[in-house]
Chain A
Amino acid sequence: MRYLLPLLLLILSCKKQEISVIPAFYFWQSGFNLSEQEEESLEVLCVKKLYVKFFDVGWDAGSGQPVPLATLSFKEKIPDATQLIPVVFITNETFEKLGVKNDTAIKLLAFKIARKIEYLVETNNLTSPKEIQLDCDWTETTEQSYFFLIEAIKNFPAFKQMKWSATIRLHQIKYFEKTGVPPVDRGTLMFYNMGDIENVNTKNSIFEANIALQYIENINEYPLPLDVAIACFSWGLLFDEGKLLKIFYPLYKEDMADSLFINSEESIYITKKNFYFEGQFLVEGNTIKLETQTAESSLAAAKLLNEHLKSADRTVILYHLDQNIIKHYTNENFEAIYSSFK
């Protein structure tokens, strides 16, 4: 018994352990203005790193060029104790459209992305980041272009000393010899979004243990050191005549009013009439499938992944910091997820 208390303290304290796990969150909202609850979570959980999505890069068909979208607006400073890691999400379509032999356009895009990151850091008086993360669900056909962009952006003068990380999807882990390994310092394994989201019959496309197991057999052969990202969210998938039309994010059971939906099956909601909902016009008979990560399923995912990962120091990032999401978890729930990697 006399050993139990120090052990507990050891687990809950922010001090460095033998295996170092750095607690982190993704921040994926459009305005940086932390709520009290969000601030409290960062503090209580001793969150050292905040991976903040600065902007998306998508393809603008009208002008035929890649464009920045959903740029983050900073309404307050990042807490001092928290290290900021800018994240830029680039759609795979961008690289499909740019093509494989368009080095000039890709270099130009790299330059624009770098400039925009630099601009957002400077104009918002942010501490110069030590790491930048790029997020793209690249494929075999876009690998060359995406990796070329990474190399180009690394050469941006202001980023010479920067550490670079990239998100890695499960299929990119399993088939890394085909899809390639991005030229970065570390990868962040996104241990979620593994099922067929477009199939209404998929049980839960965010996380299913038996699907996850199919992808992580060779996880320790992956050539990059890996951080991990665990899903802590719930979303609604709108289907019209079996076809996925839209993702409502985040969406929880309590958002599905009885006056508007019939809860026909466990996570299936059918619209009772025509109405606007979360920016979308729903037609009577539409299906919304709710896929929810609970405290239990997020922890189960973390444990499953940890069982297959070799022990190493790593950052564990929870997706994502939003009061509408974190209110479904306690800080102990989050702590348990982090701790499962120690």
Chain B
Amino acid sequence: MKTSKLFILLLSSTLTIIPIQMANSCSWGYDEDENILLPFRQELINYPELYPFLFSYHYWKGGQTDWSENGEEYAIDLFESKNANVNDWVVYFENKISAADIEDLIYNSGIEDFNAIENYFKGKEVISERWKNNVLVQYWKNNYPSKSFDYLFFAKRAEPYVAEYGWWEESPREQAPLQDITKNAEGLAKSVKDPFLKLRYTYQAMRAAHYSKQYEKCLSLFDQFVGDSKKQETVIYYWCLSLRAGAYWRLNKFAEASYYNSIVFDKCLSRRLYSERDFWIDNEDTWQKCLAMCKNDHEKNILWLLTGINQNNSAVPALQEMLKLDPGSKEIELLLAREVEKIQRTYMPVRWSFDYEGEMEELNSNWFESNNINEVFNIIQQAITLNKMRSPEYWYNAAAFLLYLKKDFAGCEIYCKKAMVNSDAQSEMWSQTKITSILNKVESFGLISAENEIMIQADLEWLSTDDGALYTNKSDARRLVMYRLMKYYLAVDKPVQAEMCRANAVEHYDIYEQPEKAPVDQLYNYFTNRNNSDFDKFLASIYPYDADDMLEIKGTLLMREARFKEAIGIFSGMKNKLHPNMLLPADPFVIHIYDCHDCDFKEYPGDYTKMSLCQKIVEMEGKLKKDPENKTELQHLLGNAYYNMSYWGNAWMSLDYYRCHGCELSKVDQNDSYSWYYNDIYDLGKAKYYYNLAAEGSRGKEFAALNYFMFAKCEQNDYYRSDDFDYENVNGLKDNYRTNFSIIKNKYSETEFYQKAIGECKYFEYYVSKH
């Protein structure tokens, strides 16, 4: 597959590609959740407390939703135990003590801090300003002895024995201390009067019992101190319930475990993720027992939601049941959103599939089981008939999108209208409807016509605007539209318009990668055609290149063939003579023993453009013919220019747009689809021609040595590109590539240049030492 090949190529290769303009940092490869074009936004249902259960690759594959990277969107704080616990204490202290002070004491302190604080209360020790200024410490000091301080000190001492371990950490729970904690906490739960603290001691006792594998004890503690009465519906009540569920699970009582987990899931955000993870039904008897434990339809609704989320093919039956139990619940909308997302990911192409025509099916592989569109659509219809939906506009939107996927264009339009009627204008729901409607409209065209072009232009402009959360979905929809338009234009033999649409459909479009293959003339004519329709003009406006770009490419391609006069003619037509691609960063006529592009960019910046370089070469070659007096100097300078225009020189960008560092040692397989990555302009024929003339015609020995050396450098570079090149012996001697090194050694060893070359060029020095 080309894509994976490309990825491997880019990730594993030590070669680097440097474009003319420094490329924006790009990361190749997407998160699995972003692999597919997703014009329908799953998060349309705005229930942050249920967001972690939206459909996600990470959820499916990893057992938990990886929503950590989407913190802002998913409001992580909602599910944090710490926040819930601190808030509980804030309420306990009647909002007189700040959450920050409570949090600092509970979560940022050690046993030694509590020891110091206790001694401070007893007047035995001076404590730090940090604790002295803590309002909770002050409160305790004023009310010492304090039961709440005693409890938190107890909890602090228990911490080391109940800490969570990392995946690979191996540390057996110490049973004796855990049993002591259970016993002591139980005793304190009995003796303390304060119901808040009684519950917390119970939690400590249950947790230690659980970790010491005393599951029956854990259950009896719940029955004894917590009970079924929900007088204390604090966070800790549900944490105790969660431990109760865990104990049942360990005792293989899965009906009880799953039922209590479902209650915790429903009522306690700080245990929601764990309780969903731990929901497990082994067989139908367990399931029926679990359902029978439910006290009302809402509880059953939650059980069906958990089944729908947990089980990869159960969503349709779960939705059916939820429709009977509570058609207006958030939960049914969550499950519907998941199913629509699964269907979307089944039908929509992989993000880069348009880049490789014909490989779409190969690239789009599902790792999940998607339900049949008709089955899910039937559910939606039933819900609409019942008319008890919580967010009717969402259901209409979902119906419209499914019908678009089914290519039921008329049906889709009907539901789009219903969704629009039920949505606030400019809301996310409204925008989603519009996205679906546009996709549906373009798909229903079947062909392109002037009328269709007029119909779609404003829609495309709207899809391009960034107005908030739906931007990525709009952007994906725009690509789908552009791909369809490309197909339509190809069908009516309008390749230029098709190319413009393709540029906006594919994941990656860069005309400079293979400029010789670009339809430069057709594109130029299109940009300059005064008879273009409004839509033609619109397409031109969203195409990433313009008429000047085409001329610049055309001129550059002519330069590659040394057709400088023609290139000048083309460049002259450009409106912007200082087009970024025209500028050369260094004087292309300077040369050194050792090539250093960056040094030249810095020390010999010059002000050459591609056009002025062409003009200079034309002028010098003309002069060469007319003025034989200074010919060796001119020949040398022309040799420099041709050398520098090649891959090897400081003006490589005059002929090319990308330079592959390290590729000089690679062989190019022209059949490789990515040969352009390696395929640079290595030819030094003209440079060698001029250096040879300059060397042979030179009257001075120093100048002759310089030109023979430059000729030799060209030979050395040719050697790198040749089949004779030996990776294992980079410095190795291949005499047929060193003819000019031998001339310098034999004829010019007394020159100053000779000594300089030995000092700067290790190849030459190596050659001299071996011969």
A101 contacts across to B, CB distance below 8 A? 12
Does A112 make an interface contact (CB < 8 A)?
Answer: yes
Q: Are A63 and B12 in contact (CB under 8 A)?
A: no
In the complex, what residue of chain A is closest to B58 when comparing beta carbons? A61
Which residues, 54 to 75 on B, are CB-close (under 8 Å) to A? 57-58, 61-66, 68
Bound complex: CA of A279 vs CA of B307, how far in Å?
Answer: 11
Bound complex: CA of A115 vs CA of B167, how far in Å?
Answer: 13
Does A281 make an interface contact (CB < 8 A)?
Answer: yes
Bound complex: CA of A245 vs CA of B11, how far in Å?
Answer: 33
- The residue that B58 contacts in the complex, of A62, A123, A275, A283, with Cβ under 8 A, is A62
For the complex formed, measure the closest distance between the CB of A274 and the CB atoms of chain B, giving whole angstroms.
5
Bound complex: CA of A99 vs CA of B11, how far in Å?
Answer: 10
Interface string of A113-141 (1 = CB under 8 A from B): 00110010001000000000000000000
Instruction: Known contacts A115-B168, A245-B313; decide if A279 and B12 are in contact (CB<8 Å).
Output: no
Does B606 make an interface contact (CB < 8 A)?
Answer: no
Interface size class of B (residues with CB under 8 A): 20 to 34
- The residue that A61 contacts in the complex, of B12, B62, B282, with Cβ under 8 A, is B62
Q: Are B172 and A274 in contact (CB under 8 A)?
A: no
Bound complex: CA of A280 vs CA of B284, how far in Å?
Answer: 9
- The residue that B317 contacts in the complex, of A116, A279, A283, with Cβ under 8 A, is A283
B62 contacts across to A, CB distance below 8 A? 59-63
Does A308 make an interface contact (CB < 8 A)?
Answer: no
Bound complex: CA of A167 vs CA of B317, how far in Å?
Answer: 41
Which residues, 171 to 195 on B, are CB-close (under 8 Å) to A? 172
Which residues, 246 to 301 on B, are CB-close (under 8 Å) to A? 280-284, 286-287
Bound complex: CA of A34 vs CA of B57, how far in Å?
Answer: 38
In the complex, what residue of chain A is closest to B170 when comparing beta carbons? A119
Bound complex: CA of A116 vs CA of B32, how far in Å?
Answer: 30
Bound complex: CA of A123 vs CA of B314, how far in Å?
Answer: 42
Bound complex: CA of A334 vs CA of B702, how far in Å?
Answer: 91
Instruction: Known contacts A61-B57, A62-B64; decide if A281 and B314 are in contact (CB<8 Å).
Output: yes
Interface string of A50-61 (1 = CB under 8 A from B): 000000000111
A100 contacts across to B, CB distance below 8 A? 12
Instruction: Known contacts A61-B58, A245-B312, A245-B313; decide if A279 and B170 are in contact (CB<8 Å).
Output: no
Does A268 make an interface contact (CB < 8 A)?
Answer: no
A59 contacts across to B, CB distance below 8 A? 61-62
Bound complex: CA of A134 vs CA of B545, how far in Å?
Answer: 55
Bound complex: CA of A67 vs CA of B286, how far in Å?
Answer: 31
Q: Are A281 and B311 in contact (CB under 8 A)?
A: yes
Q: Are B167 and A63 in contact (CB under 8 A)?
A: yes
Instruction: Known contacts A61-B61, A279-B282, A280-B311; decide if A67 and B168 are in contact (CB<8 Å).
Output: yes
Bound complex: CA of A15 vs CA of B222, how far in Å?
Answer: 58
In the complex, what residue of chain A is closest to B31 when comparing beta carbons? A61
Which residues, 238 to 274 on A, are CB-close (under 8 Å) to B? 240-241, 243, 245-246, 274
Bound complex: CA of A277 vs CA of B313, how far in Å?
Answer: 13
For the complex formed, measure the closest distance between the CB of B316 and the CB atoms of chain A, giving whole angstroms.
7
Q: Are B168 and A240 in contact (CB under 8 A)?
A: no
Q: Are A62 and B314 in contact (CB under 8 A)?
A: no
In the complex, what residue of chain A is closest to B61 when comparing beta carbons? A61
A68 contacts across to B, CB distance below 8 A? 167-168
- A65, A112, A283 — which one has the most chain B CB atoms within 10 A of its CB? A283
B312 contacts across to A, CB distance below 8 A? 245-246
Bound complex: CA of A263 vs CA of B32, how far in Å?
Answer: 39
Interface string of A91-103 (1 = CB under 8 A from B): 0000000011100
Does B369 make an interface contact (CB < 8 A)?
Answer: yes
Does A278 make an interface contact (CB < 8 A)?
Answer: yes
Bound complex: CA of A278 vs CA of B372, how far in Å?
Answer: 24
Bound complex: CA of A276 vs CA of B306, how far in Å?
Answer: 13
A274 contacts across to B, CB distance below 8 A? 314, 317
A61 contacts across to B, CB distance below 8 A? 32, 57-58, 61-62, 66
Bound complex: CA of A241 vs CA of B287, how far in Å?
Answer: 24
Q: What number of A residues sit within 8 Å (CB to CB) of B?
A: 32
For the complex formed, measure the closest distance between the CB of A242 and the CB atoms of chain B, giving whole angstroms.
11
Does A286 make an interface contact (CB < 8 A)?
Answer: yes
Bound complex: CA of A123 vs CA of B286, how far in Å?
Answer: 35
Q: Are A65 and B167 in contact (CB under 8 A)?
A: yes
A241 contacts across to B, CB distance below 8 A? 372
For the complex formed, measure the closest distance between the CB of A281 and the CB atoms of chain B, giving whole angstroms.
4
Q: Are B172 and A123 in contact (CB under 8 A)?
A: yes
Bound complex: CA of A59 vs CA of B58, how far in Å?
Answer: 11
Bound complex: CA of A10 vs CA of B286, how far in Å?
Answer: 52
Q: Are A281 and B286 in contact (CB under 8 A)?
A: no
- B172, B311, B313, B369 — which one has the most chain A CB atoms within 10 A of its CB? B313
For the complex formed, measure the closest distance between the CB of A152 and the CB atoms of chain B, giving whole angstroms.
15
Bound complex: CA of A99 vs CA of B10, how far in Å?
Answer: 13
B317 contacts across to A, CB distance below 8 A? 274, 281, 283
Q: Are A240 and B313 in contact (CB under 8 A)?
A: yes
Interface string of A275-315 (1 = CB under 8 A from B): 11111110100100000000000000000000000000000
Bound complex: CA of A245 vs CA of B366, how far in Å?
Answer: 12
Interface string of A71-97 (1 = CB under 8 A from B): 000000000000000000000000000
- The residue that A245 contacts in the complex, of B167, B170, B280, B369, with Cβ under 8 A, is B369
Instruction: Known contacts A61-B61, A62-B63, A283-B317; decide if A278 and B170 are in contact (CB<8 Å).
Output: no
Q: Are A116 and B168 in contact (CB under 8 A)?
A: yes
Bound complex: CA of A99 vs CA of B8, how far in Å?
Answer: 10
In the complex, what residue of chain A is closest to B286 when comparing beta carbons? A276
- The residue that A276 contacts in the complex, of B68, B170, B284, B372, with Cβ under 8 A, is B284
Which residues, 141 to 191 on B, are CB-close (under 8 Å) to A? 167-168, 170, 172
Q: Are B283 and A283 in contact (CB under 8 A)?
A: no
Bound complex: CA of A280 vs CA of B369, how far in Å?
Answer: 14
For the complex formed, measure the closest distance between the CB of B318 and the CB atoms of chain A, giving whole angstroms.
8
- B57, B58, B66, B284 — which one has the most chain A CB atoms within 10 A of its CB? B284
For the complex formed, measure the closest distance between the CB of A231 and the CB atoms of chain B, giving whole angstroms.
25
A116 contacts across to B, CB distance below 8 A? 168, 170
In the complex, what residue of chain A is closest to B64 when comparing beta carbons? A62
For the complex formed, measure the closest distance between the CB of B463 and the CB atoms of chain A, giving whole angstroms.
31
- The residue that A115 contacts in the complex, of B65, B170, B314, with Cβ under 8 A, is B170
Bound complex: CA of A101 vs CA of B61, how far in Å?
Answer: 24
For the complex formed, measure the closest distance between the CB of A104 and the CB atoms of chain B, giving whole angstroms.
16
Q: Which 7 A-B pairs have the closest CB atoms?
A: A61-B62, A281-B311, A281-B314, A275-B284, A119-B170, A62-B62, A67-B167
Other A-B contacts than A112-B168, A240-B369, 20 sampled, CB-CB below 8 A, are A59-B61, A60-B62, A61-B58, A62-B68, A64-B66, A101-B12, A115-B170, A116-B168, A119-B170, A240-B313, A245-B369, A275-B284, A275-B287, A276-B283, A278-B283, A279-B281, A281-B310, A283-B313, A283-B314, A283-B317
Which chain B residues have a beta carbon within 8 Å of chain A's beta carbons?
A: 11-12, 32, 57-58, 61-66, 68, 167-168, 170, 172, 280-284, 286-287, 307, 310-314, 316-317, 369, 372
A-B contact pairs, 22 of them (CB 8 A): A61-B57, A62-B62, A62-B65, A62-B66, A62-B68, A64-B66, A67-B168, A68-B168, A100-B12, A116-B170, A240-B313, A241-B372, A245-B313, A274-B317, A276-B281, A276-B282, A277-B283, A281-B310, A281-B313, A283-B314, A283-B316, A283-B317
